[in-house]
Chain A
Amino acid sequence: MGLMRNLVDGARAMVQKPRVERELEEELDGFVEASAEEKQRSGMEWGEALRAARVEMGSRGAVKHQVWSSRWEGGLDGVLQDVRISVRMLLKTPGFTLVALLSLALGIGANTAIFTLIHQVMLRNLPVHDPGQLVTFGESEGGGVLGGVDLGFFGMFPWHFAREMQANPGPFHRGGERDDDDGGVAAGAAGVASGSDGGAAVRLNFRVSQGRWVYSGGYSIEP
């Protein structure tokens, strides 16, 4: 209730600022006069008393400001004045305003663009059912993605190779089985399976044997 009353009174004072100012002005006049009368009563001459009373009050502007800012609408009024002045200054120097606006726009735009890219490429999980089980294939040891960090793309097998593997899954239907090396044609290869949600990566060793990929053991790589 008190708060409501305070809000209403403050809003009224804002709207009727000239009247409030006038009344304050009148109150200050009355204050000085009453003070001067008191001094006159104690033996001062009127002119001298009036002067002394004014000196005692000090700056009228300061007193008015103190009264005005003792209430919330004074603070709000100050903010509005600041906004008005800023807008006026900006309008006065359109070149500066344009540059400032452009810098802000470019800055915000560039930030948004870069973040969108990083979000898409690095932060967001791939849109598949269980991204943690995805496996990357490649010939390099550091290929693939480990714990959300791209380790580089050298030695990754191309897409049609992956389709080939899909048609002929090879070792993934025989996980854990060890084939003997049949000499000569085998080539070392490693696949890194990584948990995209930060889990430890698993390194799986394969060899090519008789045109098929052969699993030859795996171990975890601590991230």
Chain B
Amino acid sequence: MNVAGMSANEEPSRDLVQGTLEMLILKTLALESMHGYGVALRIEQISGGVFRVNPGSLLPALSRMERAGHVKSEWRATENNRRAKYYLLTAKGRKALVAETEQWHRQIAAIARILEA
């Protein structure tokens, strides 16, 4: 589960489902505020290694969300006493998470109905 990088050449795609990155980041930050790598690691771990987020898409997404007011950032000391940029969910971000989750459930329910028809 935590051997990221050793299984990079695996056959199945480890990309996120398109358009879900921001929702997953919001959900991850709703549990606790963390730095960029923390978010990536958490998504990978909770998904059981199915999804992996690389910094090339994670950091731009965080930057967009910060600009949209869904998250805010502050520099804090890590557990190893290093400075790291921590991201926190804002009230607006919490609302966005609820809205996006609802929409996501509607969409997968609809897709499931189509596939089972």
Contact = CB atoms under 8 A, between A and B. Distances in A.
A70 B3 contact: no
A204 interface: no
Contacts of A33: 82
Q: Which of A2, A6, A63 counts the most B-chain CB atoms under 10 A from its CB?
A: A63
Interface residues of B, number: 29
Nearest to B52: A56
Contacts, number: 83
Given A57-B55, A58-B54, A66-B56, A34 B3 contact: no
A2 B55 contact: no
A133 to B, nearest CB: 67
B61 A70 contact: yes
A56 B55 CA distance: 9
A62 interface: yes
Contact of A58 (B41, B56, B67, B82): B56
Interface string B7-23: 01000000000000000
Interface of A is mostly: helix
A9 B72 CA distance: 12
Given A39-B4, A66-B56, A70-B61, A30 B69 contact: no
Given A6-B67, A70-B61, A42 B2 contact: yes
Contact of B64 (A2, A39, A42, A70): A70
Contact of B55 (A23, A28, A41, A42): A28
Interface in A56-99: 56-58, 62-63, 66-67, 69-71
Given A30-B85, A56-B4, A71 B67 contact: yes
A27 B36 contact: yes
Interface in B19-44: 35-38, 40-41
Interface residues of A, number: 33
B60 A34 contact: no
A67 B4 contact: no
B60 A2 contact: no
A78 B78 CA distance: 34
A35 B78 CA distance: 13
Contacts of B61: 70
10 contacts: A28-B59, A31-B35, A31-B55, A38-B37, A39-B4, A56-B4, A57-B56, A62-B56, A66-B59, A69-B60
Interface of A: 2, 5-6, 9-10, 23-24, 26-28, 30-31, 33-35, 37-39, 41-42, 52-53, 55-58, 62-63, 66-67, 69-71
Given A31-B35, A56-B54, 11 more contacts: A6-B68, A26-B85, A27-B35, A30-B84, A31-B37, A38-B2, A39-B4, A42-B3, A55-B5, A56-B4, A67-B60
